[in-house]
Chains A and B, each alone.
Chain A
C-alpha cells in the first residue's frame, strides 16, 4: 500500500499537482482548506462516517446551478481511482454532473480513497475494463492540469483546470 501511495504522490508532485491527506472524520476540514472560493461540488457517492459525505458543512455549493458553476473558481469531485505510476486520476461521468464540475473550473479538488490507488496503468485499465463491461460507463483518465503548447510555450489551463489538488482519504485505524 505504502509504495503505491508513495509512487502516486511522487508522480503527482512531478506533475505540479498538490496533495493533502486526511482521515474520513477530518475530511470536511481538509476540503474546506483545499478550496478557493467560490467553490462548487458534487456529493460523494461513498459513505463517509455516518452518511454520504455531503459537504454541507463546507463553503462549497453542492449541486450548483449552471450559472454558479461558471462563476466558481474551484470544483470538488471524487475520483474513482488513482494510478500509481502516472499520478493519474480516474474521474467518472455521472448524472450529478461531476464531469462539468471537474472541468469548467480553474481549480479542481479531487477526493480519492487511499485504497483506490492502483499500482499502475495496466491494473487501472483492467479495472475499468471490468467496470465498463458491467455498466457501459465512461471515465476520464486525467493526469495533471489541462495544458497546451500550441501558443509557443507550455501553458497550464488551456480549456480545463489550471490547478489540481488531490485529497487522499486514509482509512481510519
Chain B
C-alpha cells in the first residue's frame, strides 16, 4: 500500500503534470465521444467482439498460428516472461543484432525484455519519445498510453541538456521533439531487429493493428529486417473487419483524439524493401524485402484469468487508459502510486492480480474508491470497480484475521476469514451507527474527545483531521413510525429506504423526503431495513455485502409485492440496488428490486412528469444554487433529474463537473488517504468558489459528498430534497 508519505511526495513532484495531462485527455474524451452518434452501439460491438474472442481463444490461436505461418512468419506462444525472453534473445542472437529498436508496448514492459537483451550486450533503444525519455531518466512508465505523463517539459529539457550537452540548450517542446527525432532516426536505420507490440491481431489473415501517433512503429518495422511482435494472447480477434469499432474507439477513449495519426494494419512479413540507408546507388525498389517475422504471444497468467469468472473481463481491456484518465485519484497521484509493476490505473488491479499476483495488486488496490466514474468511460464496458472489489476481497482473505478486541465488539457480522481491522470497522459501519444513535449525544461527545480521536487514529487509521458524523438520537425509522400518513387518496405508494446515514445521521433529509413525497400525493412508509451492504462492499467484504443484499431484499420484498415503489435517497445505495446487486443476488431478486427502485429525484421527476403539480412543493423565483451530483448517480445517468426538478421549482442551477469530490465513503477518513482526498476535493472547491458560484448555497446528493464539501467550504451544504419540502 502506498503510504501517506509516498503519496504526498508524488503529489508534490508529479501531481501537477499528471493532473493537467489526464484532465486534458479526459475532457478530450467527452468532446470526442460526444460527436459520435453511435457511441453506445460501437461500445457494445467492441465488447461483443472481445467477449466472443476470449470465449474462442484456443481456436483463434490455432487459426492465427496457421495463417501467420502460411504468410511466412513464425508464431511462438510463451508460457511466461522468461520463456518469451529466451525466444526473443535467440532471435536477436541469430540475427547477430547489435541494436534492437522498440516501439512502445506494454507487453514487452511486462516481460522486461530490455533487461534480458541488454544482458546479452544488445543495445535496446525505445523509439516512442515518451518511453525514450524514461529510458534516459531510468524511470518507470506512469500511464498506459502516455508513459512519461508525469514529466514536465522543463524536467525533460533539463534531462536532455544534462545528458547530451547540445550546442544550444534545448527548451521548447518543438526543440526537444526534433532533437529526439534526429537522434532516434539515426539509431532506427542502424538497427537490425525491430520489436513492436500489437493492439489487435486478426486470426483470419494474420493482420496486426498498431496504433501510434508518432510513426515510430512504422519506422521500427520498415527500417529493420527482423520484426518481432510481442503481444498478450488476449489480443486476437477473428477478422480484419472486427477492427472497425476499435479503430473508432481507441484514440477517443484514451487521449480524446478522434483517431491517432497512424493505425498500421500489417500482415507481416511486409513488402517494404529492406534497404541500406547509406547506399547512394541502388534504387529503393531493387532491394528485396526479405524480412523475418516472429509473433511472440504471451500467456503469463492470461489463460488462467480466462478461466476465472471474475478476472476474465480484464482480458477484454484494450489498454486505452480511459479508466486512468477518468479517475479522480489517478489525476492526483498517477501510475507511480496507482499502479503495479507494469500496469496502472483502474484496470491495473485486474492485470497485476492476474499476471503478477495479489501481493503486487495489493500495493495500490485501495486507491480505487469504487466511485464508478470509469465504468462508462471504458469502451468495452468492463466493470472495473467490481474487479477491484473482488481482488480486495481475495487480498483480505489471503491475510490472517487480526481478531482484535476492539472490532469484535463492534462487528458482530464480521466475515469469518476476515478483512483487516480498519476494513472491518468501515465495512460494519451499520453496527457503529446503531450504537452511535442509541447512545447519542454521549457517543458524539465521546468521539470528539482527544483520547478517542487518538485511539481511532492509532487503531483504525481514522484521520484525526476529519469531522466524524454526528448521530441523531431519534432515527428516521423511529420518527416515521410514530407518525400517521398524511395522504388520504394516494396517487402512488412508496417505501422510503432508510439508508444508514439518513436513518442515523442525516435524519433531516429523510424527513424532508417523506414530506416532499407526501406533498406529491404519495403514501410513504419507512420500515426498518438493513443497510445496503455498500460499506462492506467498499472494503472488499463481498460475503458480508451479499448477506446485506439478501436481508435488504427480504425486508423490501413484501412492500414491492404490495405495489410500493422503493425510493432511495442515498445515491450509492441506489447504485447498489440497480448495479452491484446484480453480482450479489439471484437474477429474479435482483430484477425485482432494481426495476422498482428510484433515486429520490428521479422519482420526483417522474411524478411531476406524470401530472403532479410543482405548486405543492416549495418553489422560488430564480434563486441561485450550486449543485454537486454524486459519482455513482452520474454513472447511472441520474444527475439530470435533480437539475430538472430544481429548475422546475424555480432555481437557477450551476453544476460541478469534476469527476469526483474525493471522499468516496470511508476512503477520505483514512489517515493514509486524507491528503489525497483533500487534493482531489480541491478541484471541486475551486469550482464552487468560482466567480458567480461563490455566493450560491450548495446542495449535494451523496452523503460522502456532503461531508467532503462541508470540510472544503465555509458554506454548509444540504441535500437538495431539503429545498423542496414545504
Taking Cβ atoms with an 8 Å cutoff, the residues of A that contact B are 63-70, 86, 88, 93-101, 103-104, 121-122, 125-126, 128-129, 132-133, 136-155, 157-161
Nearest CB of A to B543, in Å: 46
Would you call B280 an interface residue if the criterion is a C-beta within 8 Å of the partner chain's C-beta atoms? yes
Q: How far is the CA of A67 from the CA of B214 in the complex (A)?
A: 23
Q: Which of B79-87, B240-248, B460-468, B473-481 contacts A (4 or more CB under 8 A)?
A: B240-248
Given contacts A86-B259, A146-B215, contact A100 B284 (CB under 8 A): yes
Please state if A132 and B214 are interface contacts (CB–CB under 8 Å). no
A160 nearest CB neighbor, chain B only: B215
Please state if A100 and B260 are interface contacts (CB–CB under 8 Å). no
Nearest CB of B to A147, in Å: 5
Please state if B261 and A144 are interface contacts (CB–CB under 8 Å). yes
Please state if A151 and B156 are interface contacts (CB–CB under 8 Å). yes
Please state if B289 and A95 are interface contacts (CB–CB under 8 Å). yes
Nearest CB of B to A161, in Å: 8
Nearest CB of A to B71, in Å: 6
Given contacts A148-B213, A150-B130, contact A157 B240 (CB under 8 A): no
Nearest CB of A to B295, in Å: 14
What are 11 A-B contacts with C-beta separation under 8 Å?
A67-B279, A70-B277, A86-B258, A96-B285, A138-B264, A141-B264, A142-B262, A148-B213, A150-B146, A150-B214, A154-B173
Please state if B239 and A67 are interface contacts (CB–CB under 8 Å). no
Nearest CB of B to A95, in Å: 5
CB contact list, B172-187 vs A, under 8 A: 172-174, 176-178, 180-181, 184-185
Please state if B181 and A157 are interface contacts (CB–CB under 8 Å). yes
Given contacts A68-B280, A129-B239, A143-B262, contact A97 B273 (CB under 8 A): yes
Q: Please name all residues of chain A whose beta carbon is closer than 8 Å to the beta carbon of B181 when the two chains form the complex.
A: 157-159
Please state if A146 and B284 are interface contacts (CB–CB under 8 Å). no
What size tier do the contact residues of chain B reach? 35 or more
Given contacts A128-B265, A141-B263, contact A159 B283 (CB under 8 A): no
Nearest CB of A to B275, in Å: 4
Q: How far is the CA of A122 from the CA of B37 in the complex (A)?
A: 14
Given contacts A132-B205, A160-B215, contact A69 B284 (CB under 8 A): yes
Q: How far is the CA of A93 from the CA of B248 in the complex (A)?
A: 22
B152 nearest CB neighbor, chain A only: A152
Given contacts A147-B213, A148-B177, contact A138 B266 (CB under 8 A): yes
B213 nearest CB neighbor, chain A only: A147
Q: Please name all residues of chain A whose beta carbon is closer than 8 Å to the beta carbon of B278 when the two chains form the complex.
A: 66-67
Contact of B156 among A140, A152, A158 (CB under 8 A): A152
Given contacts A97-B272, A129-B241, A148-B177, contact A137 B267 (CB under 8 A): yes
Given contacts A121-B247, A125-B240, contact A65 B213 (CB under 8 A): no
Taking Cβ atoms with an 8 Å cutoff, the residues of B that contact A are 71, 127-130, 133, 146, 148, 152-154, 156, 172-174, 176-178, 180-181, 184-185, 204-207, 213-216, 218-219, 222, 239-241, 243-244, 247-248, 255, 258-268, 270-273, 275-285, 287, 289
Q: Please name all residues of chain A whose beta carbon is closer than 8 Å to the beta carbon of B206 when the two chains form the complex.
A: 136
Q: Please name all residues of chain A whose beta carbon is closer than 8 Å to the beta carbon of B240 when the two chains form the complex.
A: 125, 128-129, 132-133
Q: How far is the CA of A158 from the CA of B243 in the complex (A)?
A: 26
B128 nearest CB neighbor, chain A only: A150
B188 nearest CB neighbor, chain A only: A159
**Cross-chain pair count, CB within 8 angstroms:** 198
Nearest CB of B to A23, in Å: 28
Contact of B129 among A69, A94, A150 (CB under 8 A): A150
Given contacts A66-B277, A69-B284, A143-B260, contact A138 B270 (CB under 8 A): yes
Q: How far is the CA of A121 from the CA of B281 in the complex (A)?
A: 40
Q: How far is the CA of A140 from the CA of B213 in the complex (A)?
A: 12
Q: A145-B261, A158-B177 are in contact. List 5 more A-B contacts (CB 8 A).
A: A97-B273, A132-B240, A138-B271, A141-B263, A150-B133
Q: How far is the CA of A122 from the CA of B522 in the complex (A)?
A: 50
Nearest CB of B to A84, in Å: 13
Q: Please name all residues of chain B whose beta carbon is closer than 8 Å to the beta carbon of A159 when the two chains form the complex.
A: 127, 181, 184-185, 214-216, 218-219
Please state if A140 and B71 are interface contacts (CB–CB under 8 Å). no
Q: How far is the CA of A70 from the CA of B127 in the complex (A)?
A: 18
Q: How far is the CA of A104 from the CA of B272 in the complex (A)?
A: 13
Q: Please name all residues of chain B whose beta carbon is closer than 8 Å to the beta carbon of A68 when the two chains form the complex.
A: 280
B205 nearest CB neighbor, chain A only: A132
Q: How far is the CA of A140 from the CA of B287 in the complex (A)?
A: 21
Please state if B284 and A133 are interface contacts (CB–CB under 8 Å). no
Please state if A125 and B213 are interface contacts (CB–CB under 8 Å). no
Given contacts A126-B241, A140-B263, A140-B264, contact A65 B177 (CB under 8 A): no
Q: How far is the CA of A151 from the CA of B157 in the complex (A)?
A: 9
Q: Please name all residues of chain B whose beta carbon is closer than 8 Å to the beta carbon of A155 when the two chains form the complex.
A: 173-174, 177-178
Nearest CB of A to B647, in Å: 35
Given contacts A99-B270, A125-B241, contact A160 B275 (CB under 8 A): no
Given contacts A93-B272, A97-B272, A146-B215, contact A151 B265 (CB under 8 A): no
A101 nearest CB neighbor, chain B only: B284
Q: How far is the CA of A129 from the CA of B634 in the complex (A)?
A: 39
Q: Please name all residues of chain A whose beta carbon is closer than 8 Å to the beta carbon of B219 when the two chains form the complex.
A: 103-104, 159-160
Q: How far is the CA of A65 from the CA of B270 in the complex (A)?
A: 20
Q: How far is the CA of A63 from the CA of B277 in the complex (A)?
A: 14
